[in-house]
Amino acid sequence: MRPPDDAEVCALFARLTDRGLTLEGIARLTDRQISDVYFCPRTERGDPEEVIEAEETDRPQSKAEELATLWALGQALRTPEEELRAAWQKKYPGDAPWES
Amino acid sequence: MSALSEALGEQAAPITFSHGGEDYAVTPVTQLVKTKVERWLRGLAYADLYASRQDMPPEQYEHALALLARQRSMFAYLGPLYWDTVATDEGQVGLIAILFQTTPEKARKLREERAADVDALVSETTLASMPRAMAAEMRRRLAEARAGGKPGAGEHADPTPPA
């Protein structure tokens, strides 16, 4: 979610080319397309799960995903960490995963 | 937008925006568009530094140049410099020029004459190109900001790029 660094971009592109995409093809994809299609959740057998969301808010996030989103977005918007922690603890009182 | 159109992105139905007898093809934020934004931000940073070179000793200028060359991540799409830039008038014009695939002059005219429409299209295009969870969070913050509450987004009250 946050702007990836150079190493992360290289790793992402490597994974996509492993799946048969060319660099030209990747260049024409949005982050959402990559997220939805190429990193669609898989079953234990490796088959794509048949989950289709009509709206952004339809996809339930796990708590870990929710935390990652909050942090990524906070970093992009330069929100102070204290504010992010307060927002998290307001929603999940007593939960402080950054301490573990 | 159907799941098919969304998945196929610009290969499906590009958004056409018409104004003043001209049609503008508004591009989704693909990886290629992100690189265009980053090149644009980098260009602005170098231009700023070059413009201020007279006000600093040569060694300081050289040092700043070297620093800029090393700080590649600062130009990242949706990174800090992005938000700082699109918060300015010229930044908004630059972003519109990239997304509407036109010149800065025409982008400025679009912004002056169709501000609300262009603003909405830039915001929607940007959000629709993001991963869903991030877009949903952005929308939530935007709604909070518009409701007059504290957005909790640092100095950027409006998390979407204004146009």
Tens digits of residue pLDDT in B94-115: 999 999 999 999 999 999 999 9
Least confident of A52-61, B59-68, B88-97, B119-128: A52-61
Query: Could you tell me if residue A52 is left (phi over 0), alpha (psi between -120 and 50 degrees) or otherwise beta?
Result: beta
Angstroms from B59 CA to nearest CA on chain A: 29
Three-state SS at B18 = strand
Alpha-carbon Rg of chain A, whole angstroms? 16
Residue partners of B150: CB distance under 8 A and separation at least 6: B144
**Contact of B15 with B25, CB cutoff 8 Å:** yes
Mean pLDDT of all residues in A78-92? 79
Query: Do the beta carbons of residue B91 and residue B18 sit within 8 Å?
Result: no
pLDDT tens-digit readout, A25-35: 999 899 888 88
Q: Which residue in the set B7, B129, B154 is minimally distant from A77, CB to CB?
A: B154
Cβ-based neighbours of A26, under 8 Å, separated by 6 or more: A13, A16, A17, A34, B31
What is the per-residue pLDDT for B62? 93
Interface touch B28/A77, C-beta < 8 Å: no
Q: Which residues of B touch A77 (CB under 8 A)?
A: 83, 141, 153-154, 156, 159
Residue B12's alpha-carbon distances to A31, A35, B96, B132, in angstroms, are 16, 18, 21, 19
Give the pLDDT band (50/70/90) at residue B24. very high
pTM for the model stands at 0.70
- Cα distance between residue B99 and residue B107, in whole Å: 10
DSSP-derived 3-state class of residue B71: coil
Question: Is the model more confident about A65 or about A9?
Answer: A9
Tokens 């992100």, located at residue: B34
More confident residue, B154 or B50: B50
Judged against a pLDDT cut of 80, whether residue A63 lies above it is answered with no
What percent of the residues of chain B are helix, what percent strand, and what percent coil, each to the nearest 5?
65, 5, 25
Report chain B's mean pLDDT, rounded to a whole number.
84
